[in-house]
């Protein structure tokens, strides 16, 4: 299933086709050969041609090519590309984002996590602050948010209370 989604994304080169055509036009306007572009970018000639045809998925090639022909990167927004994700977030994921925002603002930003807190303690604090309803937001949902925040190094696990993780603030990068 994931491979099908990836292939669908790669097979839909709307913007790559337009960008490749624009880059080719600019190359021809400058009287550069494919070999010249290859030389300036260190991109193999067959890949340069793939860029011009919109067949290459690696954005680095398009950027290097654009730099070689002095194509303004800001013009990339003029292609009329729909800025809508291929798969919109589900209502459940949107709710998780709202919960994440509340935890970041009221739990992480303050002093609450200066010493380790469990998910249950975070849940109780959010209820006390009247940010969540005890019946609508589960500890499982909060645990998922905390795992994601730990992956982003915004919080970290600083020991255990029995089998429960104790969360503290992470690095503020």
For residue 26, give Cα distances in angstroms to 11, 17, 78.
25, 14, 15
Position 93 confidence tier, pLDDT thresholds 50, 70, 90 = confident
Indicate whether 102 and 159 sit together in one domain: yes
Taking the C-alpha atoms of residue 75 and residue 141, their distance in angstroms, rounded to an integer, is 42
Furthest-apart CA atoms within the chain: distance in Å: 71
Indicate whether 7 and 42 sit together in one domain: yes
Report the CATH number that the domain containing residue 45 is assigned in CATH. 1.10.260.40
Out of 22, 51, 79, pick the residue that ends a domain.
79
- Looking at residues 60-89, what average pLDDT do you find? 78
65 located within any domain = yes
Output the CA torsion 152→90→5→52 (10° steps): -80
**Helix pair 34-41, 59-68: axis angle to 10 deg:** 110
Indicate whether 64 and 103 sit together in one domain: no
Q: What are 24-45's pLDDT values in tens digits?
A: 999 999 999 899 899 999 999 9
Q: Is the pLDDT of residue 2 over 90?
A: no
- Contact indicator for 162, 116 with CB cutoff of 8 Å: no
Q: Is the pLDDT of residue 168 over 90?
A: yes
How large a percentage of the chain has pLDDT more than 70?
A: 85
Provide the whole-model pTM: 0.62
Taking the C-alpha atoms of residue 91 and residue 24, their distance in angstroms, rounded to an integer, is 42
How large a percentage of the chain has pLDDT more than 90?
A: 58
Q: What are 98-124's pLDDT values in tens digits?
A: 999 999 999 998 889 989 999 999 999
User: What is the CA angle 68-70-74, rounded to 5?
Assistant: 125
Q: What residues make up the domain containing 72?
A: 2-79
Q: Which residues of 23-48 are buried (b: 16+ CB within 10 A; e: fewer)?
A: bbebbeeeebebeebbeebebeeebb
Taking the C-alpha atoms of residue 158 and residue 75, their distance in angstroms, rounded to an integer, is 47
Position 84 confidence tier, pLDDT thresholds 50, 70, 90 = low
Position 8 confidence tier, pLDDT thresholds 50, 70, 90 = low
Backbone angles phi, psi at 140, to 5 degrees: -60, -40
22 located within any domain = yes
* Average pLDDT, rounded, for the chain: 86
Quick one: pLDDT at residue 144? 93
Q: What are 123-160's pLDDT values in tens digits?
A: 999 999 999 998 989 999 999 999 999 998 999 999 99
Quick one: pLDDT at residue 76? 63
- Contact indicator for 166, 152 with CB cutoff of 8 Å: no
Look at the block and give the residue holding tokens 């002095």.
Answer: 70
């Amino acid at each position: 299933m994931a491979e099908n989604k990836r292939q669908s994304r790669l097979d839909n080169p709307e913007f790559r086709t337009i960008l490749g055509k624009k880059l080719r036009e600019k190359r021809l306007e400058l009287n550069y050969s494919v070999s010249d572009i290859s030389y300036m970018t260190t991109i193999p000639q067959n890949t340069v041609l793939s860029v011009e045809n919109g067949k290459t998925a690696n954005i680095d090639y398009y950027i290097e090519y654009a730099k070689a022909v002095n194509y303004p990167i800001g013009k990339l927004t003029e292609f009329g590309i729909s800025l809508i994700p291929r798969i919109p977030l589900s209502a459940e994921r949107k709710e998780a984002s709202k919960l994440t925002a509340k935890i970041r603002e009221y739990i992480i930003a303050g002093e609450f996590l200066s010493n380790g807190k469990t998910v249950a303690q975070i849940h109780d604090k959010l209820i006390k602050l009247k940010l969540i309803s005890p019946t609508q937001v589960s500890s499982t949902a909060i645990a998922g948010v905390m795992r994601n925040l730990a992956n982003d190094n915004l919080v970290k696990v600083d020991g255990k209370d029995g089998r429960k993780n104790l969360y503290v603030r992470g690095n503020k990068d």
